[in-house]
A and B are shown apart, each in its own frame.
Chain A
Amino acid sequence: MSRLWPVLVGLVLPLALILASALLVPDDAPRLLGISLANWCLFACAPVTTALLAVCYRWGPRA
């Protein structure tokens, strides 16, 4: 488990977030700047992924 958690945090979790943004956000949610809420959630995955990779870098095993 100690070697597996970085893969879960840095790879599986970002994938889950990407899929959640597509599957869980309702279709009829309002748009902002012409962009759907699902796509805003998708774009928000980028800074979250940076934070997750930073956790892996800081506390995970060295490359």
Chain B
Amino acid sequence: MTLAVFLAIMALSLGIALWSRRGHGQQGARAFFTASGQFGAVLFFFLSVGETYSIASMLGFPGGVYDGGDAFVLWFFGYILLACCCIYFLGPWIWRAGRLYGSATIPDFFRDHWGSRPLELLIAITSIILLLPIGTMQFTGLRLVLGGLAPEARPVLLTGAAGLLCFAYVVIAGLRASAFVAVLKDLLMMGSILLVGGLAIADWQAVPAVAQAVPAPAATQPDMVFAISTILLQAVGFTMIPQNWAFLFSAKNPQAIRRAQVAAPLYMLMFPLLMATATYAQGHGIVPSEPDYVFLAVAEVLLHPAAMGLVMAAVALSGLVILSSVCLAIGPLVTRNLAPNLGSAAQQRWSRWVVAAFLLLSLLSAESGGTLMARLNNLFYFGVVQTLPGFIAALLLPRVPVAAVIGGIVAGDGLVLALWLGNVPVGGLNLGVIGLAANIAVLAGVTLLRPRNGGRSVVSAVRAGEA
């Protein structure tokens, strides 16, 4: 029964992806990768929350509470909440910057603003390196869910089928398919969390707590230096994530971005339910096969098998939607930025091969344990945030030369990498903050020594009516 419901929802998601392309059969490359200017506030809202809450939110958050206590909740919840505010203020300017130059990716914008191929290559290569682990992380989560669904099947076959489904979303309608499937995913995800969390709360006193098989971790105090620096770094870094630029470009206008971000924090009310689910498991002797399975383990105890199929599908879709949007971010990074001068049709055609290769690499990495990718994943926010000083400079400071932006990114990335590899103690501060400070210092220093002449800022160009 669980499997039948799960498969029916997966088939429905494929049907929705096919339906999403109606009237958009022949899209240009920018429309395919970013659904440029097609989405109003409601669809944009679903796409943005669909991109934010991955399989890690649904499984990893309660798993972390179950396994290690609640010390991480402050920075995890805090940065996502503050990211809504950052997107509210910066998102409209990213949209305008993209509109000004007709950009589909972050490197597109930097290349066109400064007229620099080396800057384009630098940002494209670092973005690809940083995005690679996300695929592995999603497949690792999918493996956990699908293994629970069909324990007797070979895991690689199950994750392979999930990879094919994701590939189908991408090929069928690009970002439009991701957005429409995200609506299904978000409805199922919210419904599942409300159902499982609500039943756990209702059952809290109805069933007496049994002797705890796993003692609940003691309350732990967050390291405030780390928490505050991580909240700030990851909230601003969130605006520079490559696939987030694609979803920002999909908005019909800047007002749609702001309307969606006003509502976005309400979506976070799922976190207390997820946390209650983890503490319910601790108090009621539910022992998952591994900590990240705790939400599904509680669902198995509380739900009818058919409803369990819905929950499994919600978790799987939360991984697949993120996976498809990362595919749509990596595809143009390769076909537009690493290999320029391809026509619109060629970009889409070659992107399919790039996406297929990315999915295969991610799947194999997840199957092999993904140790390297898990380590690289730790660098994600340290790296993505390094384009922020350059973007702010492009918005406001016409005298910043391209050498300053390149020097800043290289210094920021290099310092973070050196500190990370060397395990250098930094007093609990998030390493990305140190890299960002080095980046800004280099950008300011080079600008003072060799200011650019004849440049213009994005703000002045927009005010002059060019976008």
Contact = CB atoms under 8 A, between A and B. Distances in A.
Contacts of B263: 50
Contact of B70 (A39, A49, A54): A39
A36 B216 CA distance: 13
Contact of A36 (B86, B219, B231, B268): B219
Interface string A1-33: 000001100110011001101110001000001
Contacts of A6: 89
A31 to B, nearest CB: 8
Given A34-B216, A49-B265, A50-B263, A42 B77 contact: yes
Main SS at interface, chain B: helix
B410 interface: no
A40 B271 CA distance: 10
B384 to A, nearest CB: 19
B364 interface: no
A34 B265 contact: no
A3 B278 CA distance: 44
Contacts, number: 107
Contacts of A62: 255
Interface residues of B, number: 47
B129 interface: no
A36 B70 CA distance: 9
Contact of B73 (A33, A42, A49): A42
Interface of A: 6-7, 10-11, 14-15, 18-19, 21-23, 27, 33-36, 38-40, 42-43, 45-47, 49-50, 53-54, 56-57, 62-63
Interface of B: 70, 73-74, 77-78, 81-82, 84-86, 88-89, 92, 201, 204, 216, 219, 221-222, 224, 227-228, 231-232, 253-255, 257-259, 261-266, 268-269, 271-272, 275-276, 278-280, 282-283
24 contacts: A10-B85, A11-B89, A14-B85, A15-B232, A18-B77, A18-B231, A22-B227, A33-B275, A33-B276, A33-B279, A35-B279, A39-B73, A39-B272, A42-B77, A43-B272, A45-B265, A47-B265, A49-B84, A50-B263, A53-B88, A53-B258, A54-B262, A57-B259, A63-B258
